[in-house]
Amino acid sequence: MSIDWMKLLFALLGLFIVLNYGLLQYGIIRRITARIGKRIGMPVYQPYIDLIKNYAMRSQITHGVMYYLGPVFRLAGGVGVFMFMPLIFGSELWSNYSFSGDVILILYFIFFGMLGMALGASEGGHPYSFIGISRGLSQFTTVEVPFTLAVIAIAAQSGSFSITEIVAAQQGGIENWNIIANPFAGAAGLLAFLGMMMAAPFNVVQAPTEIPIGPPTEYHGTYLGMLQTNRAVLYIAEAILMVNLFFGGATNWVELLLKVFMVSMWPVFVGLVFPRFRIDQSIPWFLKIPLILGIIGIFMI
């Protein structure tokens, strides 16, 4: 089987751009949230320093094999989402490895990373690891329900499970964007996106100031660096997915990065306004309003 080296080269170049944009955006968002809290905050370039420092460290702790494969699976999920995501509409070179049913595969990749991280945490040896596992899988499963309904509604409306075809159906003006053409499916997708990004009030897995454990403390060195790399790639890839599904996609990099930043600010804004839910509050929440909106979005077709 021959390899399309040009497509592979542009896919890796796009991955490099997304990784750096994700690191910069994370630094900017942390700076913004600090200023809102009347703090100075960390430098914008701090994520680069943390990444280099962690990759330069070597782990001296021995755990089970799955503990070390957890970050690998997590990163594979984020990179997998990106590799099958078309970036620029109308550009063959920036379409990555998208195909006719790519949105279905992307949904699997999103859950694959979470499942791999759960398997890795199960061998961490910490007695409270299973609390994070149960919280993460329970909440993310309920997040997938309204988001999948929103995707089905958009796919039925566009007549295809291809992201390229979904973006093509939204061309011609803002009024053709799915967030306008099917506002119920768009609202369900945006609300589910809050849980996908795991920002407050849905950051129940790490639960800052409540549970002093989790990947930032149990993993270290190169393994923590892999998780930081995945965070930069996955969050931007998921934001690109939202742009393609509901906001008309993008025809150039400037438009894409601007839309991605605006979409990424949505969970940041909500997280700064609302306090964190308990796990018994977050799970029923996704099965109420977002679920109902997703069902209405399907019936609107």
Q: Rounded distance, CA 268 to CA 127, Å?
A: 31
For residues 163 and 85, is the Cβ–Cβ distance under 8 A? yes
pLDDT at position 36 over 70: yes
pLDDT at position 1 over 50: no
Task: Band the pLDDT of 48: cuts 50, 70, 90.
Answer: very high
- Count CB-CB contacts under 10 A for residue 102: 23
H/E element, 166: helix 163-168
Q: Rounded distance, CA 149 to CA 187, Å?
A: 11
pLDDT at 54: 87
Q: Which residue has the tokens 């499970």?
A: 161
DSSP string across 125-146: --TTHHHHHHHHHHHHHHHHHH
- Give per-residue pLDDT as tens, 57-105: 877 666 777 888 888 888 999 999 999 999 999 888 899 998 888 999 9
Task: Band the pLDDT of 290: cuts 50, 70, 90.
Answer: very high
Q: Rounded distance, CA 62 to CA 60, Å?
A: 7
In the chain, the amino acid numbered 44 is V
How many helices (DSSP H) and strands (DSSP E) are in the chain? Answer: 13, 0
DSSP string across 111-125: HHHHHHHHHHHTTS-
Residue 256 CA from chain centroid, whole number: 16
- Give per-residue pLDDT as tens, 201-246: 888 776 665 555 555 567 778 888 888 899 899 999 999 999 999 9
